[in-house]
Chains A and B, each alone.
Chain A
């Protein structure tokens, strides 16, 4: 990922999001949910998008699928999917891609499935929108998919209603529904947040297996660093509608350079830590997306803000390459960040190991 001019980057990767802005005008002002976001993704790779609530993760994913159509959202920038630009494409064209070329798994499988239709009907419907086949053929396909995501006795459970499934089974069915058309891009928005911990692990395993089989590009949106650690090749950390750090999973977990990422790592509860040891939460709360703090959006919560000599309060930092594709949006110099990580943050995180 680079920060080149749009024309150069456009459509070079399987998915290219370029300077994406999604703003919602409200009575209180413009909510800048996503404000100049760029990233790219290849087939077969997994990108984890991490951030607190309100950082713009979900809005971004709905934006890629074109699901803001008909709302008040104002969208600009470019989304290139397999050589096609989606922001400027016609609504009906994007609809035809939805569910076929790109699909989505939602957070709460109970509320995300229609309570009045059987699981099978809902999968059949998803298949038949994009494939001209009879109900019987689609039904057989639905049973195959349910079987594939690990639902026992799929030929019987296909006629069950969502409320007759357990939480984990529902999420499996949801995954089956998303994968039924063999999409090239799969977006999972908090796929395990609503599930029990044991079920979470099963679902993550399933998603990893399926991604390998389907060779799709996968975007996992989560606030849970544990989930991205399991699945992601690359990680994008979002804050206040912008990407603030991007790198391989190794970069983010081993050599994080942004103070916010340090905060996220410090807030992660770990079993291997002493119980008396306190978590290191990030002080303050996420910024208002209507009145984003001037300069670096993170500066009111950043312990290292004084070291920027006031720059953090006035200038918005650029997302710049630290090394080998590891991008960081911070006013501190590379050396300062490395020094702080090595001497102040890392020992603190590891002291408890």
Chain B
């Protein structure tokens, strides 16, 4: 078990290194290979309008854009660990650790921006995940044990709709009806931090939660149903029944427990992905989370911000993977042998 954990941890660290190299390459190496010069880069980064070519050249030199790629990567990683300073020629910009980049457009380090927006994304993702996990798994289990019933057919039809309809459609339709027509939910753009008023927080987020959960819960219902149909046909289910266990217990303790394994995996990955920004949901409901931040950064072409969001998102996915791997060993004792 200890070996397993150590190996998973090492794998996760290795994965982070690989991911950071890949991310760095996409933003710093690939454009240069495509023919963009260090000066273009400096210009794009610092964006000093009307600067003379000498100034730009000097800036590029000061930012280290002419250094070998490995050195640049080292600077970038060092920035994340120890913070960095950017000499733009006009002045020195401080970017305290962890420096995930410094936006020369907003004159702000990226990390505090991300920290500001993280609670919104966290609230959205965690709240929705509770809803979709509970409703999805419950629907899937009921569908599986009443296979072919009206409930099963209705649930699976709705699930098909849920999987097929995009968030920006279901989100806008539900906003129009529930918020603007009936006035029972908060209008778009509402957000109250949980620390200020938990009830208000939940009220503001309930519609985005349900909209996001609908999509994922549909997928989870289908997954759970398929898993339950498979496990309920296993020999050990017959054994559980032969022991005289009540059917409810057979389903919950013996059937669902085994069917949950793949769901835990997918859940970890989905959650990790969402923590890096629920772009469509945040945009549809005008929530100032990481997803919306990313969209804005892409629109204005703020490379350091995009890079920061990408790095943070990959970190979340890698950590989600790690947690899934560790949970796997908790859920399935056979994994501990590996």
Contacts and interface: CB of A to CB of B under 8 A. Distances in A.
Bind each other: yes
Interface of A: 62, 65, 67, 70, 95-100, 103-104, 106, 108, 111-116, 118, 125-126, 129-130, 161, 163, 177
B243 A67 contact: no
A130 B235 contact: no
Interface in B226-266: 234-236, 238-247, 254, 257-258
A180 B96 CA distance: 66
B244 A112 contact: no
B238 A115 contact: no
12 contacts: A67-B241, A95-B246, A97-B244, A98-B244, A99-B243, A99-B244, A100-B244, A103-B242, A106-B238, A114-B240, A177-B239, A177-B243
B116 interface: no
B235 A106 contact: yes
Contact of B236 (A67, A70, A99, A114): A114
Contacts of B91: none
Given A100-B244, A130-B244, A112 B239 contact: yes
Interface centre among B242, B245, B247, B332 (most CB of A within 10 A): B242
B332 A129 contact: no
B331 A129 contact: no
Given A116-B332, A116-B333, A111 B243 contact: no
Given A116-B258, A116-B331, A129 B244 contact: yes
A113 B333 CA distance: 13
A104 B243 CA distance: 8
B238 A112 contact: yes
Given A111-B235, A115-B334, A65 B242 contact: yes
B243 A129 contact: yes
A96 B236 contact: no
Nearest to A67: B241
B38 to A, nearest CB: 58
Nearest to A65: B242
B258 A113 contact: no
A126 B250 CA distance: 12
B243 A115 contact: no
B62 to A, nearest CB: 59
A95 B337 CA distance: 36
A115 B245 contact: no
A67 B243 CA distance: 11
A130 B236 CA distance: 19
B235 A115 contact: no
Contacts, number: 71
Contact of B241 (A98, A114, A130): A98
Given A67-B238, A106-B238, A114 B258 contact: yes
A130 B333 CA distance: 27
A24 to B, nearest CB: 15
Given A161-B333, A161-B334, A163-B334, A113 B243 contact: no
Given A98-B242, A111-B234, A113-B239, 4 more contacts: A95-B244, A108-B235, A116-B257, A125-B245
A95 B248 CA distance: 12
A190 B13 CA distance: 50
Contacts of B257: 114, 116
Nearest to B231: A114
| Top 3 closest pairs, chain A to chain B, by CB | A99-B244, A98-B244, A111-B235
A163 B243 CA distance: 20
A103 to B, nearest CB: 7
A112 B235 CA distance: 5
Contacts of A118: 333
Nearest to B245: A129
Contacts of B243: 98-99, 103, 125-126, 129, 177
Nearest to A108: B235
Contacts of B234: 111
Contacts of B244: 95-100, 126, 129-130
Contacts of A62: 238
Interface string B294-338: 000000000000000000000000000000000000011110010
A178 to B, nearest CB: 8
A100 B244 CA distance: 8
A70 B331 CA distance: 29
B242 A99 contact: yes
A126 B245 CA distance: 8
A114 B242 contact: no
Given A95-B246, A163-B334, A113 B241 contact: no
Contacts of A103: 242-243
A255 B26 CA distance: 85
Contacts of A115: 236, 258, 332-334
Nearest to A187: B242
A126 B249 CA distance: 12
Nearest to A104: B242
B227 to A, nearest CB: 14
Contacts of B241: 67, 98
A130 B240 CA distance: 13
Interface centre among B239, B246, B254, B257 (most CB of A within 10 A): B239
B241 to A, nearest CB: 6
A98 B267 CA distance: 37
Nearest to A118: B333
A129 B242 CA distance: 11
| Residue of A62, A129, A130 contacting most chain B CB atoms (<10 Å) | A129
A98 B245 CA distance: 8
A210 to B, nearest CB: 18
B336 to A, nearest CB: 9
Contacts of A163: 333-334, 337
Nearest to B332: A116
A112 B236 contact: yes
Interface in B124-153: none
A77 B334 CA distance: 44
A103 B245 CA distance: 12
Nearest to A70: B247
Contacts of A114: 236, 239-240, 254, 257-258
A96 B243 CA distance: 9
Nearest to B238: A67
B236 A113 contact: yes
Contacts of A161: 333-334
A261 to B, nearest CB: 30
